[in-house]
Amino acid sequence: MHDFSTSSPHLLPVVGLTGGIGSGKTTVAGILESLGIPVFDADARAKSLYQRNADLRVWVVDRFGETCGCYQDGRLIDIDRKALADIVFSNSDALEELNAVVHPVVARDFQAWHALQSEQSNAPYVVREAAILIETGGHKQCDSVAVVQAPQAVRLARAMGRLGTNPAQIEKRMQQQLSDETRREHAHFVVDNADENNLLRQVLDLHKKLVDVHAPRDRKTP
Ligand code: ATP
């Protein structure tokens, strides 16, 4: 039986939430958020990191070219994530190199966010949502892991609807990510988000279980 007790009594338990592209993890995170759970969206945070971290911007442009930059009055103010994605998702060495630089920065950003939530929130746990949580080893810093899965064809259709990207590009990204089978090996909880399943009921059930397994004997729950 997994020991769900959090590593530090001063910090709220961390639930890692992951799943392949288009699986529905942001939708699941949104439901949990509406129940009062603080959610750290690693992808959204990474986006704003480029705006906030000048060193990171300069490194990306030096390494992957000026076309990856967004400029204002000649100043590099952000990174064009689409241009960057076009480069790194067709070159696994480049992707690995980018990840090796970006992930530690995102991890430190998470630690600061987590410390703040633990001070300010009475929630029973926080969620760390990331598409590549297991690939980066981030799941090892979580107290439990929930995986959202859906058949590949369903994920492809959803991702195309949301991103408006062509199917070949999405399939290429899928190939860079783990399979649902491998993700399940690291999961304590699985949400099966095939179209015919009732997602809301599953997420409410997941929340109940998470409150239960992470309930500290001496911490208030909302
Ligand atoms: P990505 O990795 O691309 O960010 P994601 O795993 O976060 O994807 P979502 O953004 O939650 O996935 O979902 C992708 C799309 O599928 C969204 O438009 C969402 O509204 C839709 N969707 C998610 N779950 C369902 C469902 N059960 N039924 C119908 N549509 C769904």
Q: DSSP code of 30?
A: H
Residues counted in the chain: 222
Amino acid identity, position 219? R
Mean pLDDT over all residues of the chain? 90
User: Which pLDDT belongs to residue 60?
Assistant: 96
Q: Is 106 inside any structural domain?
A: yes
**Does ligand 1 have an atom closer than 6 angstroms to the CB of 162?**
yes
Q: Is 51 inside any structural domain?
A: yes
**74 C-beta neighbours (distance < 10 Å), count:** 5
Q: Report which secondary-structure segment, H or E, holds 74.
A: none
**Does ligand 1 have an atom closer than 6 angstroms to the CB of 46?**
no
Q: Is 20 inside any structural domain?
A: yes
Whose CA is closest to atom 16 on ligand 1? 158
**Does ligand 1 have an atom closer than 6 angstroms to the CB of 22?**
yes
User: What distance in Å separates the CA atoms of residue 206 and residue 91, rounded to the nearest whole number?
Assistant: 37
Whose CA is closest to atom 9 on ligand 1? 24
Mean pLDDT of 40-63: 92
Name the domain count of the chain.
Answer: 1
Residue range 133-176, pLDDT digits in tens: 998 889 999 999 999 999 999 999 888 877 667 788 888 888 88
Q: Is 5 inside any structural domain?
A: no
Q: Which of 23, 27, 41, 176 to mutate to test the pocket of ligand 1 (most atoms within 8 A of CB)?
A: 27
Q: Is 89 inside any structural domain?
A: yes
User: What distance in Å separates the CA atoms of residue 6 and residue 104, rounded to the nearest whole number?
Assistant: 22
Per-residue pLDDT band at 221 (split at 50, 70, 90): very low
List the one residue out of 144, 153, 60, 155 whose CA is nearest residue 102. Answer: 60
CATH number of the domain enclosing 186: 3.40.50.300
**Does ligand 1 have an atom closer than 6 angstroms to the CB of 193?**
yes
Q: Is 162 inside any structural domain?
A: yes
User: Which pLDDT belongs to residue 4?
Assistant: 67
User: Which pLDDT belongs to residue 105?
Assistant: 87
Q: Is 122 inside any structural domain?
A: yes
Q: Is 93 inside any structural domain?
A: yes
CA of 85 relative to ligand 1 center, distance in Å: 20
User: Which pLDDT belongs to residue 169?
Assistant: 81
User: What distance in Å separates the CA atoms of residue 47 and residue 128, rounded to the nearest whole number?
Assistant: 16
Six-digit token string for 90: 């067709």
Residue 210: give the domain boundaries.
14-214
User: Which pLDDT belongs to residue 94?
Assistant: 94
Residue 19 and residue 135 in contact, taking contact as beta carbons nearer than 8 Å: no
